[in-house]
Amino acid sequence: MIPVNEPAFTEREKELLVQCVETGWISSEGPFVRRFEEMFAEFVGVKHGVAVSSGTAALEVGIAALELETGDEVIMPSFTIISCAMAIIRNGLRPVLVDSESKTWNMDLNQVADKITPRTKAIMPVHIYGHPVEMDPLLELAEERGLYVIEDAAEVHGAEYKGRKCGSMGHMAAFSFYANKIVTTGEGGMVVTDDSHLSGRLRSLRNLCFRPERRFEHQKLGYNFRMTNLQAAVGVAQMERIDELLKRKIWQGEEYRKRLKNIDGIKLQAVKDWARPVYWINGIVLHDDVPMDAFELASRLSERGVQTRPFFRPMHEQPIFQKMGLFNEEHYPVSEQLARRGLYLPSGMALTEEQIDTVCAHLIDCLKGK
Ligand SMILES: *Cc1c(COP(=O)(O)O)cnc(C)c1O
């Protein structure tokens, strides 16, 4: 089986992990946490990095740091992972959805302005599958209407919009270092920001809102979202060769594109001329005239030894949110189409050229009904 994700490590991860064990620094108090935060923030081009236990935690604590009022609204795409909506809801706020646009699969910016109400306080653009959201119009609108922008940059480490790194453009951004992400610490995440006021709140929130001056007296409710030194050690090892990781990821994406760009029946994620994407995953969407859906194609590929993953199930179609009375009767046709007709091919860091060849050959056969 060619796995949908296989990470790639070197001796350096091992070496730094051994250091943690030998020195006894395994908790979040260890020195790699700060070093990883500094390396990552510098890479993104922002002042502060606050490491946390996951990308989901980064979004939750990021929203919490804005200190909005119960019932305030945050605009986000329907086509994303549940972490985004969860972070909003768990902070007592209301997620307001927009559809995706059909080329890059990112949120449709033309739908954002219409969703702004007096209660709207923030926009959460999600850079989908390695391709940046077109940030200028979004930032302009946010500025004009006095809204925060919190980027979900979990899938775009190193991607650029007009030469600016994803994660450096909003007031804050959340990254994930889950095992299938471009930089991984197994589990982990980070909030990055230029705002030292926000970073101070974030540091406090991730650590139970302990106070430096009176440790066990609390003025606010926080979380234990701390990253361990063990995780950060793996992160430091990855950041030391980040250029190499990005080069490999982009090479994989381009190899897939060479083989698939002229194949009938599928479309790939568009690449805008202002974007430097990082091809976090290599997704395909089946044309309407292909007589099978993504689930059927996935099972055929699986029979041939190629593991795939379906695309996101849109937020407005989630049973839990329906049960909560959210998004009832709302429809976002592009997201729905992507969910039914999209899947992604093996895209892990360890993927080889030979495996890409095999995957593409099987995909082409399946599309021909062979
Ligand atoms: C992976 C991911 C997350 C969540 O990150 P975890 O570390 O798995 O909690 C959030 N948003 C997006 C867009 C993601 O791809």
Q: For 23-37, how does the pLDDT look when each residue is reduced to its tens digit (9 = 90+)?
A: 999 999 999 999 999
Angle between helices 31-44 and 229-240 (to 10 degrees): 40
Task: Say what percent of the chain tops pLDDT 70.
Answer: 100
d(CA 42, CA 47): 7
Which is the closest atom of ligand 1 to the Cα of 177? 7
**Ligand 1, CB within 6 Å, residue ranges:** 54-56, 80-81, 83, 126, 152, 154-155, 176, 178, 189
Which tens digit of pLDDT belongs to each residue from 296-340? Answer: 999 999 999 999 999 999 999 999 999 999 999 999 999 999 999
Q: Tell me phi and psi for residue 192, to 5 degrees.
A: -120, 145
Q: Answer whether residue 366 shows pLDDT above 90.
A: yes
Report pLDDT for 20.
97
Mean per-residue pLDDT of the chain: 97
Ligand 1 centroid to residue 264 C-alpha, Å: 32
d(CA 128, CA 309): 15
Ligand 1 centroid to residue 82 C-alpha, Å: 9
Report pLDDT for 108.
98
Report pLDDT for 83.
98
| Residue nearest to ligand 1 atom 12, measured at CA | 154
Could you tell me where the DSSP H helices lie in 190-315? 196-206, 229-240, 242-260, 294-303
Assigned token pair, 77: 């795409």
Q: Answer whether residue 287 shows pLDDT above 90.
A: yes
| Secondary-structure class of domain 242-367 per CATH | alpha beta
Report pLDDT for 341.
98
| Residue nearest to ligand 1 atom 3, measured at CA | 55
What band does 370 get if pLDDT is binned at 50, 70 and 90?
confident
Which is the closest atom of ligand 1 to the Cα of 176? 7
Mean per-residue pLDDT, 191-218:
95
| Residue nearest to ligand 1 atom 11, measured at CA | 154
Ligand 1 centroid to residue 265 C-alpha, Å: 29
Mean per-residue pLDDT, 248-268:
97
d(CA 142, CA 121): 9
Report pLDDT for 212.
85
Ligand 1 centroid to residue 205 C-alpha, Å: 19
Assigned token pair, 30: 């260890």
Report pLDDT for 94.
98
Mean per-residue pLDDT, 166-186:
98
Which is the closest atom of ligand 1 to the Cα of 80? 13
10 Å CB burial of residue 272 (0-12, 13-18, 19+) is: middle
**3 state DSSP class of 364:** helix
3-state SS string for 113-139? HHHCCCCEEEECCECHHHCCCCHHHHH
What band does 132 get if pLDDT is binned at 50, 70 and 90?
very high
Which tens digit of pLDDT belongs to each residue from 136-160? Answer: 999 999 999 999 999 999 999 999 9
What band does 89 get if pLDDT is binned at 50, 70 and 90?
very high
Q: Where are the domains of the chain?
A: 11-239, 242-367
d(CA 91, CA 69): 9
Return the CATH fold of 11-239. Aspartate Aminotransferase; domain 2 (3.40.640)
**277, 131 Cβ separation under 8 angstroms:** yes
Integer angstrom CA distances of residue 141 from 114, 149, 166, 176: 11, 10, 18, 27
Which is the closest atom of ligand 1 to the Cα of 187? 7
Report pLDDT for 290.
95
Report pLDDT for 302.
98
Mean per-residue pLDDT, 248-266:
97
Task: Say what percent of the chain tops pLDDT 90.
Answer: 98
Question: Beta 120-123 vs 73-77: how paired, if at all?
Answer: parallel
**3 state DSSP class of 313:** coil
Which is the closest atom of ligand 1 to the Cα of 126? 13
Mean per-residue pLDDT, 197-202:
98
